[in-house]
Chain A
Amino acid sequence: MSSISIREINKSYGKGTIAALKNINLDVAAGELFGLIGPDGAGKTTLFRILTTLLLPDSGYATVGGYDVLKDIKQIRSSVGYMPGKFSLYQDLSVEENLRFFATVFGTTIQENYNLIKDIYVQLEPFKNRRAGKLSGGMKQKLALCCALIHKPTVLFLDEPTTGVDAVSRKEFWGMLKNLKREGITIFVSTPYMDEANLCERIALIQGGSILSVDTPVNITRSYGEALYAVRSENMPLLQSDLRTMSEIKTCYSFGSFHHVTLQVNGSSKVFELLNSTHPSFEWKEIEPTIEDCFIKLMQHEK
């Protein structure tokens, strides 16, 4: 059974001048950890707000946990958890007061569902009397997650929970999501970090209000469809400009300590010849594409 089902959703702003979402179709299975991957302005937050009944679509419909986002507003609001991208807890209530407030609003108590948040909350407990506004970024994020979980939601919506968070805390956060998945909660999470895609069971790549692709991360990278090479030399900026002027090279993008390159039909021999003369110590190897490689390729198709 689908936990989230989205059919032909459209949404525009500014009296129709800015299309935020264009004909979105998507299904998320119950208990799935599903990632919505895309940059700022792709439409991620708009989709979250429609699914959590905070915004009406211009057309199309969606169900969450079997409830209609247009009609069953109360049922959806009481059964889902939502952690918005912007920190939205009460800054001048303490950690414990915030948690108790959210539990009360949803007609439950901290004790009743404590097992669900226990692993996360123990890290906050030393600061339980501190005002939420005085917490560090990582701690705020953990408290927000606890508050979104305290009523034991069936679907958890997390809008960019790891934006602006350092690489170590990001890893830790994804570990927490994995544990929650074991509780059977459907998790719909968005991120602008392409490397986090691999931590989801299935992902949708979104850009400019359109979904570019939906599949498992492995299937998406498998469907790249052509050979991809990693190249490096001692002078990387020069190597990039050299590669870009060669007619045999189709695309060339920087990826950390390598450039990722695709070729026009047949033949790297000419390229090797040219590189040998200008970058004698160059290194060249065929590699598996990453999600980011696929995203770039799909973006070019869109244009």
Chain B
Amino acid sequence: MKNEVVIKTEQLTKRFGDFIATNAISFEVYAGEIFGFLGANGAGKTTAMRMLCGLSVPSSGAATIAGCDVYKEPERLKKSIGYMSQKFSLYEDLTVSENLEFFGGIYGMSRNQIKAKADRVLKQLGLDVDKDKLVGSLPLGWKQKLAFSVAVFHDPKIVFLDEPTGGVDPITRRQFWDLIYEAAGRGITVFVTTHYMDEAEYCNRISMMVDGVIKALDTPDNLKRQFNASSMDEVFFELARGAKRSAD
């Protein structure tokens, strides 16, 4: 069970004209793992993530996500994953409950399933008293926590989080990671990008992308040992310093 592979890529590549955004990356992510996907601006993270989510067709190579082939089954793939974008993307003029109903419906959950699940999620977040408030009126920290809960509402096998804690206050940032741990504990695989190097430490394993390739992949402890560094910050500098690209 522990070694069930839920993301597997082989030589996965994306070209735009003669620019190779993602260059033959191969890696595996296991079920229930918190996997940190790090890299400098322009390293090719977003492009890679879009391929893994079935939003962009690779130029070459192979990838299987939650048992789905990215070329042949992009639609089934999308149903098996959750995604939280960098930009807040819940409906601000719908209430908390309405957002949950809407996204639950999109993922094909039944009314009863949605209701039972919504009650549990609202209680967990402490949002039950605010369930009829418009999402737009919630404080930013709540919005981020709610966006995460929506992304895992349909119990996906994998949830992709694109810089979920950018600009969030230090207490909420930590509460957000409590939610990530809780989801991982339920067996959901968490694939997360971040610019906060302390958060890299909270991941089970980390990959570091530089100029379209994966330069390093290991547990935070092993990476620190490998680069003789005391923090992930130093590991990142060591690897990203030599980067030639800086697009995003």
Chain A contacts to B: CB under 8 angstroms:
38-42, 136-139, 163-169, 171, 192-194, 207, 236-237, 253-257, 292, 295-296, 299-300
Contact = CB atoms under 8 A, between A and B. Distances in A.
A131 to B, nearest CB: 14
Contacts of A169: 40-41, 246
Contact of A163 (B39, B167, B200): B167
A255 B172 CA distance: 13
A163 B39 CA distance: 15
22 contacts: A38-B169, A39-B140, A39-B141, A39-B170, A39-B172, A40-B140, A137-B246, A138-B41, A165-B41, A166-B41, A166-B195, A167-B40, A167-B195, A192-B167, A192-B168, A207-B169, A236-B202, A254-B202, A257-B220, A257-B231, A296-B170, A296-B171
Query: Which secondary structure characterizes the binding site on chain A?
Result: mixed
A236 B172 CA distance: 19
Interface stretch (B103-111, B152-160, B237-245): B237-245
B198 interface: yes
Contacts of B245: 136
B236 interface: yes
Contacts of B140: 39-41
B42 interface: yes
B242 to A, nearest CB: 10
A136 B247 contact: yes
A296 B173 CA distance: 11
Contacts of A296: 170-171
B72 interface: no
Given A136-B248, A138-B248, A193-B196, 9 more contacts: A41-B139, A136-B42, A137-B248, A167-B240, A169-B246, A237-B181, A254-B198, A256-B231, A257-B201
Interface residues of B, number: 40
B233 interface: yes
B168 A40 contact: yes
B174 A253 contact: yes
A139 B195 contact: no
Contact of B237 (A167, A193, A236): A167
Contact of A167 (B166, B221, B233, B248): B233
A167 B236 contact: yes
Contacts of A136: 41-42, 245-248
Nearest to A292: B170
Interface string B70-107: 00000000000000001000000000000000000000
A284 to B, nearest CB: 18
Nearest to A296: B170
B221 to A, nearest CB: 8
B224 to A, nearest CB: 8
A163 B195 CA distance: 9
B118 interface: no
A2 B42 CA distance: 41
A39 B195 contact: no
B240 A168 contact: yes
B239 to A, nearest CB: 9
A177 to B, nearest CB: 18
Contacts of A236: 202
Contact of B198 (A164, A207, A256): A256
Contacts of A166: 39-41, 195, 240
Contacts of B213: none
B77 to A, nearest CB: 27
Nearest to A139: B246
Interface string B173-197: 0100100010000000000000111
A255 B198 contact: yes
Contacts of A257: 201, 220-221, 231
Nearest to A303: B171
B232 interface: yes
A72 B198 CA distance: 45
Contacts of B202: 236, 254
A167 B232 CA distance: 11
Nearest to B40: A166
A136 B42 CA distance: 8
A138 to B, nearest CB: 4
Contacts of B195: 164-167
A260 B167 CA distance: 21
A256 B232 contact: yes
A166 B247 CA distance: 11
Given A167-B233, A168-B237, A169-B246, A295 B170 contact: yes
Contacts of B172: 39
B41 A256 contact: no
Contacts of A254: 174, 177, 198, 202
A193 B172 CA distance: 14
B89 to A, nearest CB: 15
